[in-house]
Structure 1
């Protein structure tokens, strides 16, 4: 009878101390979390502000304008819903630009990756003077779009250009590279591939140099040819890098603008009128901001679809 109160009185302070300790930890954890959130907003705030002003607001503004008719200064006037999209997707002129863009993007992507892979494969070998060739192959990374356009405009000039002089020397017929619709597309593709090749080459070369040399030594002992080593050792080992390069090259192809503007301005007869350049002309030449906004969103959806296809198809072939 006398022990029960004593027992009760001895456990009460323990329980009280535990509750007090738990409350203190909870309170300190609350203030710690609040302080973490405070610092997180301080560090993330500038980035979120910049993204909001230059990315998210223009994106939602573009979506908003695409649902209206606009005046020449871009002010919405009449709500038309999806009419701008329907008019574009049923326009022969727009569908022609879409087809031209697809040909251009696919050609640039395939040729750039193929040439970058071939050059990186040769440059990865330990040969005398190979450093000079590595520098030359990657030199286009330091060339601006305007300089590249001037350089290739000189080469494609029908009277004084390098190709014209070679044609005269070999007594070949002259080609109007930038005024003939058929050849203008090829000229733009060649120029874009030349511009993109340095980046692709450098990325693939770095990936190839990380492949263990023991794999090639073992394959050589087994009598494997260089071609067999390329397709069964090199490409599988650098497949993550190839996957990355293919996505970047495809997106950059859809975004090509500078070379088109400086070399052909979408001509001749809209043969090189890519979707990005069409958006530029509709917005800043014609003042049709509503149609340009709809074209921008359609282009965004197209890029997203192609990127998704790459992830679904190519990622299955990537060896991590």
Structure 2
């Protein structure tokens, strides 16, 4: 396969092709090495460490002390507090995801109209994207204040009974959901607006020539053409809703009566307040499995209705 010509080695074409592929693979691996190291340190190692700790009882430093197998998972299934966290998380996702997407879609449809000064409103609608969770939560903490908050003052002006927004178990989760919807609207609006602006204008022109109404165009052109963007934003918003933590910690700290004790906050309390890292790790694994299953189902069922151009 090789021959000596003028004291040099000449490789055949198959050998040269294999050598080039090997060189390309080594070059690609070199470029990917920083990302691989970052993923290993910040994602893969914590994930496998969490799974490992979920089978142990730990000391206060988080060191595995006693192997208990699936006892941590059995304990979670029998724990009323964890079941309450699952229920609160499911309600929170139900409150925030559909409502937030519908509001953002409505704003995006308005901002997509060719009107004078619409750029100002686009900036206002997307402005919440630049606000941190901590800052926005502090603002909402004052708005929900039972005595000096704007909402209760407005109710007083309307001669309506005041509401203990963050102190009443029936209102606390709704209040946190409202602040979350407001915070996430900017990002969702911006993505949906970008999707709307990528729709071919000739489709609307042809529909107008045929006498199609606005609502017909919305049903037959806008929503089908926007379906890839909607599918993406639903997936991202759903995952983010399951991982909500900052608003809960600042506004309610899981209360009152554990009404807002979402799974992520329950994990935090179990690990860094009760120092039960084994149980907290088991909750984290359960949350990961729930998000994974929901995401897979969404891709299996929802992607069938997505229309790619």
From 18, 23, 27, give the equivalent of 1:39. 27
In 2, Cα distance between equivalents of 1:145 and 1:24: 62
Q: 1:215 to 1:24 in 2, by over 3 A?
A: closer
Indicate whether 1:300 and 2:307 are aligned: no
Q: Which has the larger radius of gyration?
A: 1
User: Which consecutive unaligned segments of at least 5 residues does structure 1 have?
Assistant: 1-14
Per the TM alignment, residue 165 of structure 1 is displaced from its structure 2 partner at its CA by 1.5
In 2, Cα distance between equivalents of 1:116 and 1:33: 47
In 2, Cα distance between equivalents of 1:241 and 1:35: 38
User: Residues 94-138 of structure 1: CA distance to partner in whole angstroms, max 9, x if unpaired?
Assistant: 111101101101221101111111111111111122111111100
In 2, Cα distance between equivalents of 1:207 and 1:233: 12
User: Residues 69-88 of structure 1: CA distance to partner in whole angstroms, max 9, x if unpaired?
Assistant: 11111111111111111110
Number of matched pairs = 304
Indicate whether 1:216 and 2:204 are aligned: yes
Indicate whether 1:70 and 2:47 are aligned: no
From 56, 79, 95, give the equivalent of 2:67. 79
In 2, Cα distance between equivalents of 1:115 and 1:276: 26
After TM superposition, the structure 1 = structure 2 runs for residues 162-311 of structure 1, keeping only pairs within 5 Å, are 162-311=150-299
Q: 1:16 to 1:73 in 2, by over 3 A?
A: closer
Per the TM alignment, residue 175 of structure 1 is displaced from its structure 2 partner at its CA by 0.4
In 1, Cα distance between equivalents of 2:80 and 2:205: 57
CA contact (8 A) 1:279 1:295 kept: yes
In 2, Cα distance between equivalents of 1:41 and 1:134: 42
Aligned partner of 1:157 in structure 2 is 145
CA contact (8 A) 2:55 2:68 kept: yes
In 2, Cα distance between equivalents of 1:200 and 1:46: 31
Aligned partner of 1:148 in structure 2 is 136
CA contact (8 A) 2:53 2:277 kept: yes
In 2, Cα distance between equivalents of 1:126 and 1:195: 26
Runs of 4 or more above 2 Å deviation:
20-42, 217-225
Cα RMSD after superposing both structures: 1.9
Per the TM alignment, residue 49 of structure 1 is displaced from its structure 2 partner at its CA by 1.4
- TM-score, normalising length: structure 1: 0.90
In 1, Cα distance between equivalents of 2:144 and 2:205: 45
Per the TM alignment, residue 48 of structure 1 is displaced from its structure 2 partner at its CA by 1.2
Per the TM alignment, residue 21 of structure 1 is displaced from its structure 2 partner at its CA by 8.9
From 79, 86, 93, give the equivalent of 1:98. 86
CA contact (8 A) 1:106 1:250 kept: no
Pick which of 55-64 and 289-298 moved more. 55-64
Aligned partner of 2:95 in structure 1 is 107
Per the TM alignment, residue 150 of structure 1 is displaced from its structure 2 partner at its CA by 1.1
In 2, Cα distance between equivalents of 1:104 and 1:65: 28
Q: 1:25 to 1:232 in 2, by over 3 A?
A: closer
- TM-score, normalising length: structure 2: 0.93
Aligned partner of 1:12 in structure 2 is none
In 1, Cα distance between equivalents of 2:21 and 2:294: 42
User: Residues 191-221 of structure 1: CA distance to partner in whole angstroms, max 9, x if unpaired?
Assistant: 0011111111111111111112222223233
CA contact (8 A) 2:4 2:10 kept: no
In 2, Cα distance between equivalents of 1:30 and 1:318: 41
User: Which consecutive unaligned segments of at least 5 residues does structure 2 have?
Assistant: none
Indicate whether 1:49 and 2:28 are aligned: no
Per the TM alignment, residue 50 of structure 1 is displaced from its structure 2 partner at its CA by 1.5
Q: Give the secondary-structure state (helix, strand or coil) at the position aligned to 2:66.
A: strand
